[in-house]
Amino acid sequence: MARIRARAISRGVAQGEALVCSQPISFFGGVDEKSGTVIEKGSPIEGKSVAGKVLVFPRGKGSTVGSYVMLQLKKNGVAPLAIINEEAEPIIAVGAIISRIPMVDRLEGRAYAKLKDGMRLRVDGNRGCVFLL
């Protein structure tokens, strides 16, 4: 089990299968809050669900309402289990914190680029690390 150091953003620990998106994600207008399905036209993960996944994407984009969409996803039981960003920004960080979704960013070395769809990952937002399972 390989351990990668990262910066802790939101506390908690979760593990699951990675869903990797190569482009920034907007939760407001980009993810259906009832189903967790990505509805943003042209997104590399359009039509896929973030529910129960370790969501890996470079950073967030769009409206600050996205933080509250993340909270609604959590309330509806269709939120990501954890989030890994290349570089966190406030919309996603706040959304993860208020939704109690473990989140990290700034993975050491070039580890972020090596994360692929389907990998089993454990995100530890308490200690600031990611484990490749």
C-alpha dihedral, 81 to 87 to 89 to 94, nearest 10° = 30
pLDDT at 1: 78
Angle value at C-alpha 22, between 20 and 27, nearest 5 degrees: 75
CA distance 128 to 66: 24
Question: For residues 75 and 59, what is the distance between their CA atoms, to the nearest angstrom?
Answer: 23
Confidence of residue 19 (pLDDT cuts 50, 70, 90): very high
Q: Report in angstroms the alpha-carbon separations of 57 from 1, 19, 41, 119.
A: 22, 9, 16, 14
Q: What is d(CA 119, CA 124) in angstroms, rounded to the nearest whole number?
A: 16
Residue 124 pLDDT grade (very low, low, confident, very high; cuts 50, 70, 90): very high
- What is the chain's mean pLDDT, rounded? 97
Written as six digits, the tokens of 30 are 């980009």
pLDDT tens readout for residues 48-106: 999 999 999 999 999 999 999 999 999 999 999 999 999 999 999 999 999 999 999 99
pLDDT of residue 8: 98
Which listed residue (22, 63, 67, 99) is catalytic?
63
- Three-state SS across 48-98? CECCCCEEEECCECCCCCHHHHHHHHHHCCCCCCEEEECCCCHHHHHHHHH
pLDDT at site 21: 98
Mean pLDDT of 36-40: 98
Q: Is 63 one of the annotated active-site residues of the chain? A: yes
Domains of the chain: 2-132 (3.50.30.10)
